[in-house]
């Protein structure tokens, strides 16, 4: 795994250089761990020999919505162009876990929270997360990773290989590729769910992109499939966005109606996680 940095890690290095410090503790993996680096005239020396030159440090600090890998003495922005969707995706730093930028939209809540806390809020809505779990939109894998802590198995679906390319370089996503309890499927959830058996899952976590980017994942046809594959007594978490105002409120109202038409009961708002929760 290469060193991964953002302006949160690099700005203190520039400040330390200006203060004449000889070393500093810094995170090489977006806040997960720390190491001691040596501050030199021409840049920063990391354990293992990777070197961040000061002009590159300035570039990182000037790119507040981007994360960069450092390998040897070279930096590279973590981003990819999707031939599947014709959109760019990239890794965007926060004070905690990074989020995914897809077509300019952050794929996690970042105002007043961070992607890790956002994921914990989603899990809390359908506790206990047990048995066989379906995650309909992998993204950076945070949902699948958190669900795998208590579930017997997690099946996670991602439409876009470019998103997984970004996730592979995200230190916070590594369990997505290392945990044997997580099975990845690359494909369109709208089509993939048709291949699952009836009542195959005890929990479904449906966290799709916005309605404008993935309207079919909010459709009655799709909800009928989710109802079919959810075990009796199971629960569905459906992220919408802010369900108490604006576009999110309108989307939530329509989604709740279609979920009930598909057979779900007890459809209720869960504003803390910007979601609806439904039962079978």
The model's pLDDT over 137-190, given as tens digits with 9 standing for 90+, comes to 999 999 999 999 999 999 999 999 999 999 999 999 999 999 999 999 999 999
Instruction: Point out which residues pair with 51 in neighbouring strands.
Output: 45
Band (pLDDT 50/70/90 cuts) for residue 1 is confident
pLDDT of residue 262: 98
176 by DSSP, 3-state: which? Answer: helix
Structure tokens at 205: 């976590």
Q: What structural domains and CATH numbers belong to the chain? A: 3-77 (no CATH), 108-279 (3.40.50.150)
Label the pairing between strands 35-39 and 23-26: antiparallel
What backbone torsions phi and psi does residue 181 show, to the nearest 5 degrees?
A: -80, -10
Give the closest residue to 130 by CA, choosing from 153, 107, 160: 153
pLDDT of residue 114: 87
Residue 154 belongs to what H/E stretch?
Answer: strand 153-158
Q: Would you say residue 212 has pLDDT above 80?
A: no
How far is it, in rounded angstroms, from Cα 105 to Cα 88? 10
Mean per-residue pLDDT over the chain, rounded: 94
């Amino acid at each position: 795994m290469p060193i991964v940095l953002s302006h949160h890690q690099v700005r203190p290095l520039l400040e330390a250089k200006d203060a004449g410090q000889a070393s500093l503790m810094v995170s090489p993996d977006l806040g997960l761990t720390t190491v001691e680096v040596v501050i030199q005239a021409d840049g920063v020396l990391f354990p293992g020999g990777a070197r961040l030159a000061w002009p590159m440090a300035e570039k990182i600090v000037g790119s507040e919505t981007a994360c960069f890998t450092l390998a040897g003495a070279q930096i590279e922005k973590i981003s990819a162009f999707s031939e599947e969707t014709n959109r760019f995706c990239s890794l965007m730093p926060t004070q905690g876990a990074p989020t995914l930028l897809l077509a300019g939209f952050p794929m996690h809540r970042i105002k007043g929270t961070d992607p890790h806390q956002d994921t914990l809020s989603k899990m809390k809505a359908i506790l206990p997360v047990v048995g066989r779990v379906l995650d309909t939109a992998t993204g950076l894998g945070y949902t699948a990773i958190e669900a795998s802590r208590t579930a017997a198995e997690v099946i996670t679906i991602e439409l876009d290989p470019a998103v997984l390319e970004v996730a592979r370089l995200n230190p916070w996503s590594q369990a997505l590729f290392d945990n044997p309890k997580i099975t990845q499927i690359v494909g369109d959830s709208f089509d993939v769910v048709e291949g699952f058996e009836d009542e195959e899952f005890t929990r479904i976590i449906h966290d799709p992109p916005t309605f404008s980017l993935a309207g079919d994942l909010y459709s009655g046809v799709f909800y009928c499939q989710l109802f079919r594959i959810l075990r009796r007594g199971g629960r569905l978490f459906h992220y919408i966005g802010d369900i108490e105002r604006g576009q999110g409120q309108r989307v939530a109202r329509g989604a709740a109606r279609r979920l009930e038409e598909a057979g779900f009961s007890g459809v209720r708002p869960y504003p803390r996680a910007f979601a609806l929760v439904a039962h079978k």
